[in-house]
Chain A
Amino acid sequence: MDLSLLLGLGRFVLATTLLLLLTVPTAFVVIQLELKVIALMQLRLGPNRVGPRGLFQSTIHGFKVLAKEDTVPDQADRATFTLAPWMVYMAAAMSMLVIPFAPGFVAADFNIGVVYFFAILGLSVVGLLVAGWSSYNKYSLLGGLRSAAQMVSYEIPLTLSVVGVVILTGSLNFTQIINHQLAHGWNVWWQLLGFPIFFIAATAEINRAPFDLVEADSEIVAGPFTEYSGMRFGFFFFAEYVALFIMSAILVTLFFGGYLAPWPFPAQLSGFIGTLYGLIWFFAKTYFFIFVAIWMRTTLPRIRVDQLMGVAWKVLLPLSLINLFGTAIAVVAFKL
């Protein structure tokens, strides 16, 4: 076999394994952040017992779900019930593959990265629907159907708002999108309508407040996760926070220059220093938007299911079409 092909394959396997391993600490960090930020906003202390300043609370949560009894309802469809958390988790974890963390620091630099990302992320709705359907529980069923309706509806404005960026940058490759922003400034300045659409639709797509209808605890207990326990529930829980991280990362990549610093100097950093510099900026921006999502969760009440659909189809879809055509016309007219 050709050596370069073997090397490429080896690099791919290594990168995917590393990313899969990265998802767990990422989830821990995001959960810990959420616990602490919500506590801060609700005038509480938050977790402060496990480890220094309660730093290991979410880690302990993670190990706790491992130790819990794993139950399957009597009349559940055992095969799909077992498969569902895996599907949701893998959808979240695999979409991490195309995120450029720093210059040259990307697991798979596809030339159709954007398409791959949204295709894979869209798979998680299948997992949620399967979970809701196979649990043999009415709350799960309602939650599963809600997730299908919600995520499919919001995928349309989400993808359309990204098409604006794609037209602007002329590429489906995340690295090239970032390089374009190095030359022309952050995309958010050129996509003043596209960014809010993407932000709202992305929040709905990952079932975060105020669009957390899928697991609306005051209405349908825990939605599709109602019958899950132990590590299976843990997978859903992790997938949710990994999805939050990924959505923030993609938002940063598409609109806020990814790993680029907000100012153009130092222009050319290479090697280890450049990677580190990129990583710092990437994580700083990403965690800023995670913070915004947590902030929204503490502030806003939940939207109702008919209002949710109304926002998607009556407001976001027309606006994203306007944004798409406006961008296309501007690109052609001004040769951007």
Chain B
Amino acid sequence: MTAVDPETRIPDPIDLDRAEEARLRAAAGLGPPAPAPGSEYAGFELVGVPDRPPQTEREREMYTLEEGEMLLNMGPQHPSTHGVMRLVVKLRGEVVTDLDPVLGYLHRGIEKLCENATYTTVLTYVDPMDYLASMHNEHAPAIAFEKLFGIQAPRRAEYIRALVVELNRVFSHGLMVGFLALDMGGLTPILYSFINRDDVVELLASISGQRMLFNFFRVGGVNWDVNDEFLSRLGKWHGTVLKSIGDNEKLITENEIFKGRTQGMGILSGEQAISYGVTGPNLRASGVPFDVRKAHPYSIYNELEFDVVTQQRGDVYARYLQRIAELKQSLHLIDQIMDKMPHGPVQAQVPGIIRPKPGRAYGAVESPRGLYSVYAISDGGPTPYRFRMRDPSFITLQVMPLLMPGHLIADTMAIMASLDPVMGGVDK
């Protein structure tokens, strides 16, 4: 083996940071940094403890261990943290006494990317945010930009939008059910969910050309009209979807182990949910009948009939039942949309490069995870001056420290799965 020349070796960024810190400290006349309190135990470095003194009171409280407590680092690589989420949990035995969610492992700067893209191309960047609800991701900026430009999508386009968005909701809720069971050790429901999801994404691929990042919405309409393949697949899928959902329901809804593990667990009251800004199925599972489709109707939702289903208990089981109930509402909506869809064009006339007048616009949709909204500011240029996205998963994650302490490790996973966060949306 040849020794690596220190001059040519690519330095580790952490070493650079430490060297820089040492240089700055030396310049300021300070000694070497003191080791963080509690970061060492019996000569071993404790994993999960920040490599610096605590910055806030909260951090000091979290990372100071009492007798019999242990920090456990779960994630970002962990079998069930729903993407690259990291949780530092403080354990007493197996009981979680405190936790510190660490976010940002999937940050891609999508807001900034969108601010450097023209209005028409922004819709291609938002797809991979909440990757289980790409259609919803595209819907909100489309609404906001149409307000900004003062154009209106044709009615047929609005119907197609509602159709694909509800199809997206069906597979997203279906996957949540599967992942909840998977995080509780049930292996089969996720497979059934994925069979259903595969049917839906093939369906959406036949209309948009893509299975995951659809890139289907356009400012002022949608990219393509429904085609024969889409319609035949839709008919075929429609015949099997209730059975595939029913298979999952039979496996878990009345399962004693499932009920024993989910009922009364991770209870989120309606007041708490409202004060934390939780929206979507998680809010409705706590008994608050707020649905953007009903409260602030967009697209064609005021022409369609559907119920805002709510549950009363606000526990993990209620959130599961909520998903199943909403899924059935979505199927009901799809029926109505197919029944009422008018003829006509699917795309309004929009110039290639648009410079809207300076102003601001807000578009909000009900995504499978809650109120997903976009706030766009135009300064008259070809790109948005500011493009802000409110992702419901990010807001929902804030209640984790409220729900999890006092429960066992196994339950933290069930609670997290029941909140159904998607890290792509949380970290943007």
Measured CB to CB, the residues of A under 8 A from B are 38, 41-44, 75, 138-139, 142, 146, 209-210, 212-213, 216-221, 297-307
Per the bound structure, the CA–CA distance linking A38 and B258 in Å amounts to 20
B232-273 residues with Cβ-Cβ distance < 8 A to A are 251-252, 255, 257-258, 260-261
Per the bound structure, the CA–CA distance linking A301 and B52 in Å amounts to 41
Tell me whether B409 and A220 are in contact (CB under 8 A). yes
Tell me whether B261 and A300 are in contact (CB under 8 A). no
Contacts of A219 in B (CB 8 A): 80, 409-410, 413
Contacts of A221 in B (CB 8 A): 78-79
Contacts of B413 in A (CB 8 A): 218-219
Cross-chain pairs A/B with CB under 8 angstroms, 29 sampled: A41-B188, A42-B187, A43-B191, A138-B47, A142-B94, A146-B94, A209-B185, A209-B187, A210-B185, A210-B257, A212-B185, A217-B79, A217-B80, A218-B79, A218-B410, A218-B413, A219-B409, A219-B410, A221-B78, A299-B251, A300-B185, A301-B255, A301-B258, A302-B185, A303-B260, A304-B408, A305-B94, A305-B408, A305-B410
Distance of B78 from chain A, by nearest CB (Å):
7
Per the bound structure, the CA–CA distance linking A91 and B74 in Å amounts to 32
Per the bound structure, the CA–CA distance linking A41 and B261 in Å amounts to 24
Per the bound structure, the CA–CA distance linking A219 and B258 in Å amounts to 16
Of all chain B residues, the one with the shortest Cβ separation from A38 is: B187
Contacts of B409 in A (CB 8 A): 142, 219-220
Of all chain B residues, the one with the shortest Cβ separation from A136 is: B44
Per the bound structure, the CA–CA distance linking A221 and B80 in Å amounts to 9
Tell me whether A301 and B78 are in contact (CB under 8 A). no
Contacts of B325 in A (CB 8 A): none
Stretch at the interface among B3-11, B104-112, B176-184, B387-395: B176-184
Given the known A-B contacts A301-B252, A305-B94, are A218 and B80 also in contact in the complex, defined by CB atoms under 8 Å?
Answer: yes
| Additional 17 contacts, C-beta under 8 A, given A146-B94, A218-B185, A219-B80 | A43-B195, A75-B44, A138-B70, A209-B185, A213-B410, A217-B79, A220-B409, A298-B188, A299-B188, A300-B257, A301-B185, A301-B257, A301-B261, A302-B185, A303-B260, A304-B260, A304-B408
Contacts of A217 in B (CB 8 A): 79-80
B366 within 8 A of A: no
Of all chain A residues, the one with the shortest Cβ separation from B48 is: A138
B186 within 8 A of A: yes
Measured CB to CB, the residues of B under 8 A from A are 44, 47, 70, 72-73, 78-80, 94, 181-188, 191-192, 195, 251-252, 255, 257-258, 260-261, 408-411, 413
Tell me whether A218 and B408 are in contact (CB under 8 A). no
Per the bound structure, the CA–CA distance linking A294 and B288 in Å amounts to 42
Of all chain B residues, the one with the shortest Cβ separation from A310 is: B260
Per the bound structure, the CA–CA distance linking A44 and B410 in Å amounts to 28
Tell me whether B184 and A302 are in contact (CB under 8 A). yes
Distance of B96 from chain A, by nearest CB (Å):
11
Of all chain A residues, the one with the shortest Cβ separation from B78 is: A221
Set A138, A146, A216: member contacting B185, Cβ < 8 A: A216
Per the bound structure, the CA–CA distance linking A44 and B181 in Å amounts to 18
Set B184, B185, B191, B257: member contacting A44, Cβ < 8 A: B191
Per the bound structure, the CA–CA distance linking A98 and B72 in Å amounts to 43
Contacts of A75 in B (CB 8 A): 44
Tell me whether B184 and A218 are in contact (CB under 8 A). yes
Per the bound structure, the CA–CA distance linking A299 and B104 in Å amounts to 36
Tell me whether B411 and A304 are in contact (CB under 8 A). yes
Per the bound structure, the CA–CA distance linking A83 and B70 in Å amounts to 27
Of all chain B residues, the one with the shortest Cβ separation from A307 is: B260
Tell me whether A303 and B257 are in contact (CB under 8 A). yes
Contacts of A41 in B (CB 8 A): 188
Of all chain A residues, the one with the shortest Cβ separation from B80 is: A218
Per the bound structure, the CA–CA distance linking A126 and B99 in Å amounts to 32
Distance of A214 from chain B, by nearest CB (Å):
12
Contacts of B408 in A (CB 8 A): 304-306
Per the bound structure, the CA–CA distance linking A75 and B46 in Å amounts to 13
The 8 closest A-B pairs by CB, nearest first: A302-B185, A301-B186, A218-B80, A42-B191, A301-B184, A218-B183, A219-B410, A301-B185
Set A138, A142, A297, A304: member contacting B187, Cβ < 8 A: A297
Distance of B222 from chain A, by nearest CB (Å):
33
Per the bound structure, the CA–CA distance linking A286 and B79 in Å amounts to 33
Tell me whether A300 and B410 are in contact (CB under 8 A). no
Contacts of A302 in B (CB 8 A): 184-186, 257, 410
Per the bound structure, the CA–CA distance linking A139 and B186 in Å amounts to 20
Of A41, A43, A44, most buried by chain B (CB within 10 Å of CB) is A43
Distance of A306 from chain B, by nearest CB (Å):
7
Per the bound structure, the CA–CA distance linking A302 and B410 in Å amounts to 9
Of all chain A residues, the one with the shortest Cβ separation from B256 is: A300
Per the bound structure, the CA–CA distance linking A138 and B255 in Å amounts to 31
Contacts of B255 in A (CB 8 A): 300-301
Distance of B247 from chain A, by nearest CB (Å):
9
Contacts of A43 in B (CB 8 A): 191-192, 195
Of all chain A residues, the one with the shortest Cβ separation from B251 is: A299
Set B79, B186, B192, B195: member contacting A300, Cβ < 8 A: B186
Contacts of A146 in B (CB 8 A): 94
Distance of B186 from chain A, by nearest CB (Å):
4
